[in-house]
Structure 1
Amino acid sequence: MTLPPPSTPPTRVLIVHDSPTVRASLRRTVASDPRLRVVGELDSALHLVEAVGRLAPDVVVMDVVMPEVDGYQATRALMASRPTPIVLVSQVVDPSDASVALEAIRAGALAIVDPPPPPSDAARSFRRDSFLSLVRSAANAHPSRGATSHDAPVSRVRTLRRSARVIGIVASAGGPAALSSVLEQLPRRGFPPLLVVQHLAKGFSDGLARWLAGSGHPVSVGGAGERVEPGHVYVAPEDRHIGLTADARIAISDEPPVGFFRPSGTWMLSSLARALGPDAGGVVLTGMGDDGAAGARALRDRGGEIVAQDEASSVVFGMPRATIACGAANEVLSLRAIAQWIVDKRGGEP
């Protein structure tokens, strides 16, 4: 008699939040998925490292702003001693909160997401399922990758076209640190305009733009009708798609989400395909799921060049893998090589 293979053990989750109400909501949400199991709860991150050593969670779900030790300090301490995937949850964000959360991302946290929605939320089922999918996927992430890759060897870049008028960049989990790494390697004014779609919790678009501006480049949330300029970076606004018009002005849309995302990387890259065709480029960075892959395919079909981040430098290889699998990627490159590829694309007039 052949015995069935043993079932996969559930992903172990440690919840860290100073609000009893939010902890209870997180506990109920995680417990609703048989593939997940809550192994502990903390009302402070003060003893996070000790708890991780004792409970051996696969994923830590943690608040951003907490007394005694905030999300950034806790992430740094954990990554230095026991690297473990961290998903940050945030409800109320002011500029200082956004800075703390994004520094935690730079230190190794995977993503910033909204906490599970209340029963009154019309999109509750989708948002709950998205949250659970992220927590499950986080267990297979590599939190030590992607944050700093300046010293990685540069692979050979086979640039197919001489220049690009605009480049669109798509990122999700692990993306803020990857974006920061790429921007820090670019020369001032020495690259085409960049449009950026980064999946984040609500309230973080302005904070992401300010944080990325620390690279020394002009970074702003894109405005409808704004003419794009070389050496500038334009982040998608809150809950809106970003793209480009035929006369190289920013297009902002409240069209429905694409694959549950708004802003969507696929919407943006498809917009570049329609507006510029072979004179646009696309980059798909680390992230869960497949956002951007279909748009990358549409842009490549119109003659644009597409680069996907390589697995070795990706925190989560989902989105780059999907882009490669659909045949959209011309190149698969490390973060450092992606920065050089962007520089090599300068020269096109927006």
Structure 2
Amino acid sequence: MIKVLIIDDSALVRQMLTTILNSAAGITVVGTAQDPLIAREKIKQLNPDVLTLDVEMPRMDGLTFLGNLMRLRPMPVVMVSSLTSKGASVTLEALELGAVDFVSKPSALGRGLEEYSDEIIAKVRMAAGARVRAKAHTPARSAATATVAPSNTADAILAKKVGRSHFRTTERIIALGASTGGTEATAQVLKSLPSGFPAIVISQHLPAAFSASYTQRLDGCCQMKVKLAEHGEQIIPGHVYMAPGDHHLLVKRDGARYICHINDGPPVNRHRPSVDVMFRSVAQNVGPNALGVILTGMGADGAEGMKEMRDAGAFTIAQDEATSVVWGMPGSAYKLGAVSELLPLDKIAGALMSNLD
């Protein structure tokens, strides 16, 4: 049984979340708290497995509480956040401090309660099994996953091709995909790469409101230039191209150049952007000139696409289970035979640099 403590200053939100979570098999709400000071005592008394946490609360804000919690008593936290631009910035800071994931505020939803209930139940279950570590001076980020239906395959965006039709060039492209736990993992990889490194394309499961803020955060801490990908722009070394929120990012060849292609087609594997879509486009258009990386994340998005990349001659890397917050996506790729090398997070940047020749 997963024991949950709900921390929110709104009595209505506490009641809604309690009703939703108590309706799920294997989950029980052991208590609620209207502010972090009350929550601190209830954590000691009730020993919950997962917290849901609001940001704006009386007596102590959620970020201050979260920072202290992850330093002194690390445990899985799911943020309950507003999907506004201000909410995106604050939520990314919470994820940076160590929260596992986030859900939107129930009152801010324009969709049905049933869909919202399914999302928060799934994320609480995922959080209960996540690997959460104490935070010292280096904050961690975690991916915010957006659940979107229906669940198509990459065929809905790009038809699968069989066989190789590539030639080796000196221009390399790295394709990286991640989800839950992946914002911190992606940042750690990028921080270790030099400014003149080959171009990187990234599909990270983030809602549209978060992609710009997250891209700006990465650009501020990396030697490479990090930007949101634009349709038709040339992919050049020293740059990282992030899939815009709620859009697929594909790599296409235009003569001797590689370019970004932005696609607003249906979600794939319940996600837009989808890692499978990006990896397939890289397999077809870059082939053996590419390197693939799949990091921590819930689900299996990217596994099939990475297998296509490896079959096309690309070198592929997956994050190992011990350093993943959730070993869903990299684990699925590994079990499918899509992975050339399985590595802990702190070894991935070095492996990329050593496999460029």
TM-score bucket (shorter structure): 0.7 to 0.9
Contact 1:265 / 1:291 at 8 angstroms: preserved in 2? yes
Among 262, 265, 269, which residue is 1:255 paired with? Answer: 265
Amino acid at match of 1:317: W
Contact 2:5 / 2:50 at 8 angstroms: preserved in 1? yes
Separation of aligned partners in 1, 2:44 and 2:283: 49
Q: Which residue of 2 aligns with 1:219?
A: 226
Q: Deviations over 1:283-329 (max 9, x none)?
A: 11111111111111121121112110011211111111111011101
Q: CA 1:288–1:114 in structure 2 vs 1: closer, same or farther (change >3 Å)? A: same
Amino acid at match of 1:205: S
Q: CA 1:70–1:281 in structure 2 vs 1: closer, same or farther (change >3 Å)? A: farther
Compute the displacement of 1:280 (Å): 1.6
Contact 2:72 / 2:134 at 8 angstroms: preserved in 1? no
Q: Which residue of 1 aligns with 2:212?
A: 206
Separation of aligned partners in 1, 2:170 and 2:122: 38
Query: In the alignment, does 2:143 pair up with 1:137?
Result: no
TM-score (norm 1): 0.84
Separation of aligned partners in 2, 1:23 and 1:327: 44
Using the TM superposition, name which of 216-225 and 264-273 deviates more. Answer: 216-225
Contiguous gaps of at least 5 residues in structure 2: 140-167
Q: CA 1:117–1:308 in structure 2 vs 1: closer, same or farther (change >3 Å)? A: farther
Query: In the alignment, does 2:104 pair up with 1:114?
Result: yes
Q: Which residue of 2 aligns with 1:314?
A: 324
Query: In the alignment, does 2:27 pair up with 1:36?
Result: yes
Larger RCO, structure (CA 8 Å, separation 6 or more):
1
Q: Which residue of 1 aligns with 2:54?
A: 63
Q: CA 1:146–1:281 in structure 2 vs 1: closer, same or farther (change >3 Å)? A: farther
Separation of aligned partners in 1, 2:204 and 2:126: 18
Q: Which residue of 2 aligns with 1:48?
A: 39
Separation of aligned partners in 1, 2:246 and 2:70: 31
Contact 2:298 / 2:328 at 8 angstroms: preserved in 1? yes
Separation of aligned partners in 2, 1:333 and 1:176: 18
TM-score (norm 2): 0.83
Separation of aligned partners in 2, 1:128 and 1:193: 39
Q: Which residue of 2 aligns with 1:72?
A: 63
Compute the displacement of 1:201 (Å): 4.3
Q: Which residue of 2 aligns with 1:153?
A: none
Q: CA 1:306–1:204 in structure 2 vs 1: closer, same or farther (change >3 Å)? A: same
Pairs within 5 Å for 1:318-333: 318-333=328-343
Q: Which residue of 2 aligns with 1:338?
A: 348
Using the TM superposition, name which of 274-283 and 67-76 deviates more. Answer: 67-76
Compute the displacement of 1:67 (Å): 4.3
Q: Which residue of 2 aligns with 1:154?
A: none
Pairs within 5 Å for 1:238-277: 238-247=245-254, 248-277=258-287
Separation of aligned partners in 2, 1:272 and 1:34: 41
Q: CA 1:117–1:167 in structure 2 vs 1: closer, same or farther (change >3 Å)? A: farther
Contact 2:51 / 2:78 at 8 angstroms: preserved in 1? yes
Q: CA 1:319–1:120 in structure 2 vs 1: closer, same or farther (change >3 Å)? A: same
Amino acid at match of 1:121: R
Using the TM superposition, name which of 255-264 and 162-171 deviates more. Answer: 162-171
Query: In the alignment, does 2:291 pair up with 1:281?
Result: yes
Q: CA 1:201–1:67 in structure 2 vs 1: closer, same or farther (change >3 Å)? A: farther
Q: Deviations over 1:47-82 (max 9, x none)?
A: 433322221111111123444433332222111222
Separation of aligned partners in 1, 2:72 and 2:241: 36
Q: Which residue of 2 aligns with 1:6?
A: none
Amino acid at match of 2:214: L
Give 3-state SS (helix, strand or coil) of 1:226's partner: coil
Among 173, 178, 185, which residue is 2:185 paired with? Answer: 178
Query: In the alignment, does 2:101 pair up with 1:91?
Result: no
Q: CA 1:227–1:345 in structure 2 vs 1: closer, same or farther (change >3 Å)? A: farther
Query: In the alignment, does 2:200 pair up with 1:194?
Result: yes
Separation of aligned partners in 2, 1:41 and 1:215: 37
The alignment of Structure 1 onto Structure 2 pairs a total of residues equal to: 325
Contact 2:71 / 2:135 at 8 angstroms: preserved in 1? no
Query: In the alignment, does 2:17 pair up with 1:26?
Result: yes
Q: Which residue of 1 aligns with 2:165?
A: none
Separation of aligned partners in 2, 1:44 and 1:145: 22
Separation of aligned partners in 2, 1:127 and 1:330: 38
Q: CA 1:87–1:168 in structure 2 vs 1: closer, same or farther (change >3 Å)? A: same
Compute the displacement of 1:344 (Å): 3.2
